[in-house]
Structure 1
Amino acid sequence: MIVKNALVASVSVAALAASTFTVSAQTDLAALYEAAKTEGQLTTIALPHDWCGYGAVIEAFKAKYPGITINELNPDAGSADEIEAIKANKGNTGPQAPDVIDVGLSFGPSAKAEGLIQPYKVSTWDTIPDSAKDAEGYWYGDYYGVLSFLVNTDLVSKVPTSWADLKGADYANAVALAGDPRAANQAIQGVYGAGLSTGAADAKAAADAGLAYFAELNKSGNFVPVIGKAASTAQGTTPIVVAWDYNALAWRDGFAGNPKAEVVVPSDSVVAGVYIQAISAFAPHPNAAKLWMEYLYSDEGQLGWLAGYCHPIRFNDLAAKGSIPQELLDKLPPAEAYAKAVFPTLDEQAAAKEVITGQWDAVVGANVQ
Structure 2
Amino acid sequence: MKPLAIALVAVLMAAGCSTPRRDKITVACSASEQWCAMMVKRFSDATGVEADFVRLSSGEALDRIKAASARQEFDVWHGGEAASYVAAKSQGLLEPYKSEKSGEIRRGWADKENAWSGVYVGVLAFCNNTKELAKRGMKPIRSWRELLDERLRGGVAIAHPATSGTAYAGLWTQMELNGRNQDAALGYLRSLHPNVLRYNTAGAAAAVQAAKGEAAVGVVFSHDCVTAQEQGYPNLQVTFPQEGTGYELGGLAVLAGAHNPESARKYVDWALSGASQRLGPLVKFYALPTNAGVPAHSKAVDLTTVKLVSYDVEVAGRAKQSLVDRFSAEIARPPA
Same fold, judged at TM 0.5 (above): yes
**What's the CA shift string for 1:222-248, capped at 9, x where partnerless?**
112231514433333333221122222
Question: Within the alignment, does 1:356 sit opposite 2:323 as a pair?
Answer: yes
Correspondence for 1:24: none
Higher Rg = 2
Task: Map 1:288-303 onto structure 2 (within 5 A).
Answer: 288-303=263-278
Correspondence for 1:16: none
Correspondence for 1:241: 218
CA distance in 2, matches of 1:132, 1:329: 19
Provide TM-score, normalisation by structure 1: 0.73
Match of 1:330, SS state, is coil
Correspondence for 1:278: 253
Cα deviation for residue 368 of structure 1 reads: 4.1
CA distance in 1, matches of 2:114, 2:21: 25
Question: Within the alignment, does 1:71 sit opposite 2:72 as a pair?
Answer: no
Asked whether the equivalents of residues 85 and 317 of structure 2 are also in contact (C-alpha less than 8 Å), the reply is: no
| Pick aligned residue for 1:99 from 75, 80, 83 | 75
Structure 1 runs of 4+ with >6 Å offset: none
Question: Within the alignment, does 1:332 sit opposite 2:300 as a pair?
Answer: yes
**What's the CA shift string for 1:23-59, capped at 9, x where partnerless?**
xxxxxxxxxxxxxx964322112344357x4444334
Correspondence for 2:168: 188
Correspondence for 2:26: 43
Correspondence for 1:86: 65
Asked whether the equivalents of residues 193 and 271 of structure 1 are also in contact (C-alpha less than 8 Å), the reply is: yes
Cα deviation for residue 108 of structure 1 reads: 3.0
Paired AA for residue 198 in structure 2:
P
Paired AA for residue 44 in structure 2:
K
| Pick aligned residue for 1:159 from 126, 134, 140 | 140
Cα deviation for residue 297 of structure 1 reads: 0.9
CA distance in 2, matches of 1:132, 1:367: 29
| Pick aligned residue for 2:195 from 209, 219, 222 | 222
Where in structure 2 are there 5+ consecutive unaligned residues? 1-19
Paired AA for residue 47 in structure 2:
Y
Specify whether residues 240 and 70 from structure 1 end up closer, same or farther in structure 2 by C-alpha distance, changes over 3 A only: farther
Correspondence for 1:112: 89
Specify whether residues 272 and 359 from structure 1 end up closer, same or farther in structure 2 by C-alpha distance, changes over 3 A only: same
Correspondence for 2:178: 200
Identity of aligned residues (%): 21
**What's the CA shift string for 1:175-198, capped at 9, x where partnerless?**
122x321242221111232454xx
Specify whether residues 251 and 38 from structure 1 end up closer, same or farther in structure 2 by C-alpha distance, changes over 3 A only: farther
Specify whether residues 194 and 237 from structure 1 end up closer, same or farther in structure 2 by C-alpha distance, changes over 3 A only: farther
Where in structure 1 are there 5+ consecutive unaligned residues? 1-36
Q: Give the RMSD, CA atoms, in angstroms.
A: 2.7
Provide TM-score, normalisation by structure 2: 0.80
Correspondence for 1:60: 42
CA distance in 2, matches of 1:293, 1:183: 24
Cα deviation for residue 110 of structure 1 reads: 3.5
Specify whether residues 367 and 85 from structure 1 end up closer, same or farther in structure 2 by C-alpha distance, changes over 3 A only: closer
Specify whether residues 279 and 269 from structure 1 end up closer, same or farther in structure 2 by C-alpha distance, changes over 3 A only: same
Comparing 105-114 and 242-251, the one that deviates more: 105-114
Match of 2:132, SS state, is coil
Match of 1:238, SS state, is coil
Correspondence for 1:311: 288
Paired AA for residue 229 in structure 2:
R
**What's the CA shift string for 1:65-120, capped at 9, x where partnerless?**
34x333221x2x33232223223333437xxx111113432233442333211122
Specify whether residues 192 and 125 from structure 1 end up closer, same or farther in structure 2 by C-alpha distance, changes over 3 A only: closer
Cα deviation for residue 161 of structure 1 reads: 1.1
